[in-house]
Homo-oligomer: A and B are copies of this chain.
Amino acid sequence: MATIDDKARNFLEQPFVGTVTTLRQDGSPHSTIVWVDSNGDLSFNTAVGRAKERHLRQDPWFSLLAVAPENTYKWVAVSGTAELTTEGADAQIDKLAKKYLGQDEYPWRNPEEQRITVRIRPEHIDAAGLDD
């Protein structure tokens, strides 16, 4: 397992969205946008039944890349395997709404939707521009 260093973690503390890639059953990579939780284990939040969650139950490999929107030479990419948990996932989406929207509560909550946290066990970490 690789370790996310302080530079990468500080970078990910900023409200930059991440591109998450999971793998479809046909082997093709599927990429979408997520909010990144940089506290403790790196993680993101999705809902049960979405493509990302379904893919990760079949194949736990995924990658996450976040790039600074004002300087695209600065980015961090982490790939590894996913651990999924619904524990704390509702509180996490509110915390991420604070980070990304400045709001205390996630404004698009759907009572029929179960939130889930995807924690990364990092295997490969790449970064660029963090020393500039």
Query: Could you tell me which A residues sit within 8 Å of B by CB distance?
Result: 17, 19, 21-24, 26-33, 59, 61-65, 67, 69-70, 72-73, 75, 77, 79-80, 123-124, 126, 128
Contact = CB atoms under 8 A, between A and B. Distances in A.
Contacts of A22: 29
Contacts of A31: 19, 21, 63-65, 77, 79
The copy count of this chain in the complex is: 2
Contacts of A27: 23, 59, 61
Nearest to A79: B28
A16 to B, nearest CB: 9
24 contacts: A19-B19, A19-B21, A19-B31, A19-B65, A19-B67, A21-B21, A22-B29, A23-B23, A23-B27, A23-B29, A24-B124, A28-B63, A28-B80, A28-B124, A29-B62, A29-B63, A29-B79, A30-B63, A30-B124, A31-B63, A31-B64, A31-B77, A32-B65, A33-B72
